[in-house]
Amino acid sequence: MEFGLKSIHQLFPTPLLRFEIADCAALNQVLLAEIALRRSIEEGQTRSNRTGWHSQPDLFDRAEPGHRQLATLLRAMIVEATTNFDPSADFQRIDVECEGWVNVNPRGAYNSPHDHPGAFWSGTYYVQVPAGERDAGTIEFIAPRQPLRSGGTVRGDLTADKARVRPTAGTVLLFPGSLLHWVHPNDSEEERVSIAFNARFRRKSR
């Protein structure tokens, strides 16, 4: 008796979207200069970061040209990502509330496992990624559900309990705010500079 596979449905997916900003070098140089100035006059915060410098979450309110340009790009990515999953989403009727902050990780600094409660999307833009070291600030995502156990006989997404991503400068990673993740210690002498952000949605009041 013959049979045929009719369909496969990906139930409750956990997407990881990767955008790349073309010709990012000029933007990143501007951002690095703006961030250096901020670090010289602003006291950092401690959140998930272990050492390093964490700015106020005010990226989308800043007046600096590089900050403003990046904020505009990130908002556009958030809209594109959302309409990819729900083409009917009407952003004429949706307020997108965003916050973002700078992370600077020198040698030895890392971010402990955490998620972003209340955020629909979370993400990170990579301004400067140390080169030449295997794990210099690699981001690692932790499975949001218990993976299937196979005793090593079956491999792939169904049995994975974590996933590592080594981005490059100009990369934006976007993922659900509930996804647990952490950043490996920077084992390079070069600083790892990134800008993290959250997006929440609210129906506009009439």
* pLDDT, tens digit (0-9, with 9 covering 90-100), for 155-178: 888 899 999 999 999 999 999 999
Cα–Cα separations (whole angstroms), residue 77 to 82, 174, 178: 8, 9, 19
Q: Which fold has domain 17-136+167-203?
A: Jelly Rolls (2.60.120)
Q: Inform me whether the pLDDT recorded for 77 exceeds 80.
A: yes
Q: Which string of b and e fits 164-173 if b means at least 16 CB within 10 Å?
A: eeebebbbbb
pLDDT tens by residue, 90-113: 999 999 999 999 999 999 999 999
Residues of the chain with pLDDT > 90, as a percent, come to 86
94 exposure class (CB count in 10 Å sphere: 0-12, 13-18, 19+):
middle
- Residue 187 tokens read as 């084992």
Mapped to the 3 state alphabet, what secondary structure does 147-205 carry? CCCCCCCCCCCCCCCEEEECCCCCEEEEEECCCCEEECCCCCCCCEEEEEEEEEEEECC
Which pLDDT score is estimated for 125? 98
φ, ψ of residue 7 to 5 degrees: the values are -165, 160
* Distance (Å, whole) CA 111 – CA 50: 6
Query: Could you state, in order of their start, the residue ranges of all structural domains in the chain?
Result: 17-136+167-203
* Distance (Å, whole) CA 202 – CA 181: 25
pLDDT tens by residue, 128-139: 999 866 777 799
Q: Inform me whether the pLDDT recorded for 206 exceeds 90.
A: no
Specify the pTM: 0.94
Which pLDDT score is estimated for 136? 74
Scan for tokens 């690699």, then name that residue.
138
Q: Inform me whether the pLDDT recorded for 55 exceeds 70.
A: yes
Beta-carbon count within 10 A of 84 CB:
11
pLDDT tens by residue, 6-28: 999 989 989 999 999 999 999 99
Question: CB-based contacts of 185: which residues, under 8 Å, 6+ apart?
Answer: 108, 109, 110, 135, 137
